[in-house]
Chain A
Amino acid sequence: MSGLDPLAGVDSANGRRDPMRMQEKLVLRIVSKATVPFILLFALYVQFHGDFGPGGGFQAGVIFAAGLILYGVIFGLDMLERVAPPRVVEFGIALGILIYGGVGVVSLFLGHGDAPAGNFLDYNGLAHDPVHGQHLGILLVELGVGITVTAAMLAIFYMFAGRRMVERPEFGAPEEDQP
């Protein structure tokens, strides 16, 4: 069986899953195909708007992940895993934090003005001009946040959507768990 859709209908008469999958429903397929790109674009807008106005990495990450999850719900988990493999998602969680923390650690070594070295997350030293340094710092930090949030949201979705009934001998009774 291909990826389980959490929203796939269940035939009430015999309790089996409805053989008709989400992607065979024309309206859902067309509408989601049309909207997913715009959701992703909007996420990028929120991401890069973050250092001047409302928005930022967290919101952008959630929106971006929501776009991908919509794709997964309609076209199946397998298709989504081809777009964002679980290994890559896990890598993304780590990468985002490392970018954030890395910016902080780098600023320990970069001085500006009279100071030989800045404090942790002191963006002033990141560029020749402190104002540019602040821009660059916020941009990078928000990028890290965005990557981690997107990846974490997808990881949570994979955890829930990938659950199957499995036997766990150490627990005795069968229960729901990830494979």
Chain B
Amino acid sequence: MTAHLPILQVVLPLMAAPLCLLIRNGPATRYLAIGVAWTSLWIACQLLGQVVAEGPISYMLGGWVAPFGIEYRIDAVNAYLLVIVTMIASVVLPFGVDRIPLTVPAGKEYLYNAAFLLCICGLLGISITGDIFNVFVFLEISSLASYTLISLGKGRRALRAAFSYLVMGTVGGTFFLIGVGLLYQATGTLNMADLAERLPASFGARSVVVSFAFLTVGIGIKLAVFPLHQWLPNAYSHAPARVSAFLAATATKVSFYLLLRVFFGIFGVTYVFGTLRAQNLLIPLSLLAMFVGSVAAINQTNIKRLLAYSSIAQIGYMTLGLSMASVDGLTGGIVHLFNHALMKGGLFLVVACVGYRLGSDRVEDWSGVGRRMPWTMAAFVVGGLSLIGVPGTVGFVSKWYLVLGAINRGWTLVAPLILLSSLLAVVYVWRIIEIAWFRQAPAGAKREEAPLSMLVPTWVLIGATLYFGFHTDLTVGVARQAAQALLGGTP
């Protein structure tokens, strides 16, 4: 059965979703979803092992040969991403499994679990497929499921956030589809590897340049790259706790992967960075994202919004690594993809823990919460340090490679800017830590830690940020292999 692992990776959550509709029982579907997530994690680890040992895997759907049928193609880049998505899902789904009151009526919980499984399926599908139209299909599956999930947040503002995400996401999806259509018109193929071979013949055509622009902007909206990020803070801050942790850790990462794939896997590094000189646009935008996102984060009064704006800044680091188009820069970008998933997922879970006890996401309500929930807030401190990039945490590893990449490129101005924006992260992280640990708790507040079913998943992610901060061989090793594969070197 190992030969069929690539398809099972996607089909398992896809088939579990309608099963939820048949089971119609909240708790049963909840545990089904957890089981599916864990099995998917196992499959993803198997695939990553195979890819690292034996090179790329190719799977033909329906037995149709590659450029004609749909091909699932797994190399170091997407095997890495599959592990991230399934790992976050495996940690987030059991989070507070019997504690978190859902905003959906109890009788409708199975629908929520079905939507969650579909979202996982879509994200895995985008990562695994080697067919660019298939990417669009999975993009729609994951997007539609995430609109639903976000709208289940508390209050009417969740509906509005979901709707504005829907509008922006649909624009992004449509732009992506237009780009794919133009590519198909120019080359007559939809298979990514085949596209990469045939495209150079039509690089002179205007439609190829236009398609590049549509694809970049379309993915840019999904990725929430500055200045297309307006939907993100609302969507993350009004979504239910588990959903914001999952989406913050995975959705933008998958979009970043897609951008990598389109830039390096389809158009090729010489065309994108040599002929079109995309870095002239990407570098300023990445730097702006780093600073605008961080400054906006400093000014937030809601912690979920603060983390969301910080995500925009972190996405800036990733696109900066991408625009370096060197092994070091790309390694930094790809490692940061993994690291940011860990720390942002962990931090959103901390917010969910505190929200469960305090019922508030507002910064001023957090005063003295460090005394009341020491373990939870210790997790916040570690995650925050990682966000800043303190040595010993994963944040340091990715920033190290980014600075290294900038220096090797001879961008002497960019390297200090990376450090400067880290200082901004110090400001917004310290603000929370100061309020949580050094202010007095309101009178009558007693010590009450978050329940274990919430604390353990939180610490799994936060502990991973420490573990991978010291043991960089696995993450950096695979990321370097991925970067070399993308740049066309031998993996």
Contacts and interface: CB of A to CB of B under 8 A. Distances in A.
A108 B4 contact: yes
A120 B245 CA distance: 32
Contact of B18 (A94, A105, A171): A94
Given A91-B22, A105-B11, A120 B17 contact: no
Nearest to A168: B156
A124 interface: yes
Given A119-B60, A122-B63, A93 B11 contact: no
Interface string B220-255: 000000000000000000000000000000000000
A41 interface: no
Contacts of B20: 94
B152 interface: no
Contacts of A122: 62-63
Given A90-B21, A91-B21, A97-B17, A118 B11 contact: no
Nearest to B70: A121
A123 to B, nearest CB: 7
If over half of B's interface residues share one DSSP class (helix, strand or loop), that class is named, otherwise mixed; here it is helix
A121 B15 contact: no
Interface residues of B, number: 20
Contact of A95 (B4, B14, B18): B18
B358 interface: no
Interface of A: 90-91, 93-95, 97-98, 101-102, 104-105, 108, 118-124, 170-171, 175
Interface in B46-105: 59-63
Residue among B4, B63, B155, B156 having the largest count of chain A Cβ atoms under 10 Å: B63
Nearest to B20: A94
Interface of B: 1, 4, 7, 11, 14-15, 17-22, 59-63, 154-156
B19 A120 contact: no
A120 B155 contact: no
A90 to B, nearest CB: 6
Contact of A120 (B21, B61, B154, B156): B61
Nearest to B111: A90
Nearest to B21: A94
Contact of B4 (A98, A120, A123): A120
